[in-house]
């Protein structure tokens, strides 16, 4: 696998990705952003020239935290996506990780977990055994997924949320910060509170 990366997007999320890649000793070739006002992120150049999207021998990561936007970028660009995983994450050797996924510092992922493409597992999130995490999901800092949890495509699990064992979270659902989820949640809803309740 190439050790050279390009990052699509020059945002706060990209800053964390940059620092993970630096710790891993991987080379950051450049960043791309379609905002022409963005020229530099830390010391790295930001290009808005589409030609950069055709460079070869590079791995790409989408540095955008918003799940919907991240999916649109991936669907509109045929790129060779890599995986970015912080050295300080505690990851079982018996898991599967999809392309484009980012695993932040302090994350714990236990045995037999399957993670889809272009997922974000944010700082100190905990994912226990036999969980399934769909494409384009975002597990926020300090969220806890107990064993056998299923997270549907595009779902966003808020900071500090807790999901008890065996629960399914529907696709493109939003679980608020600090929620405690004790029953299955359908697609396309927003949930808040302890215990979690659907508000729309």
Q: What does the H/E/C string look like for 164-195?
A: CCCCEECCCCEECCCCEECCCECCCCEEECCC
Specify whether the CB–CB gap between 103 and 109 falls below 8 A: yes
Please give the DSSP secondary-structure letter assigned to residue 12.
H
CA distance 110 to 58: 30
Contacts by residues 166-173 (CB-CB < 8 Å, ≥ 24 positions apart): 171/134, 172/67
Count of beta carbons in the 10 Å neighbourhood of residue 82: 22
- State the catalytic residue, choosing from 13, 129, 138, 156: 129
For residue 118, indicate whether it is catalytic.
no
User: What residues form DSSP beta bridges with 112?
Assistant: none
Question: Could you give the residue numbers annotated as active site?
Answer: 129
């Amino acid at each position: 696998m190439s050790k050279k990366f390009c990052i699509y997007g020059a945002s706060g999320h990209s800053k964390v990705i940059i620092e993970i890649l630096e710790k891993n000793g991987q080379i950051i070739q450049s960043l791309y952003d379609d905002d022409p006002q963005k020229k530099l992120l830390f010391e790295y150049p930001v290009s808005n020239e589409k030609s950069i999207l055709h460079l070869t021998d590079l791995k790409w990561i989408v540095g955008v935290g918003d799940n919907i936007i991240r999916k649109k970028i991936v669907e509109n660009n045929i790129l060779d996506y890599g995986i970015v995983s912080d050295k300080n994450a505690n990851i079982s050797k018996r898991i599967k990780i999809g392309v484009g996924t980012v695993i932040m510092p302090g994350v714990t992922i236990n045995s037999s977990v399957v993670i889809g493409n272009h997922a974000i597992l944010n700082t100190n999130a905990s994912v226990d055994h036999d969980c399934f995490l769909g494409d384009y999901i975002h597990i926020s800092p300090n969220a806890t997924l107990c064993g056998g949890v299923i997270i549907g495509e595009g779902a966003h699990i808020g900071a500090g949320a807790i999901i008890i064992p065996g629960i399914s979270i529907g696709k493109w659902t939003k679980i608020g910060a600090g929620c405690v989820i004790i029953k299955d949640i359908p697609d396309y809803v927003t949930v808040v509170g302890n215990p979690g309740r659907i508000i729309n």
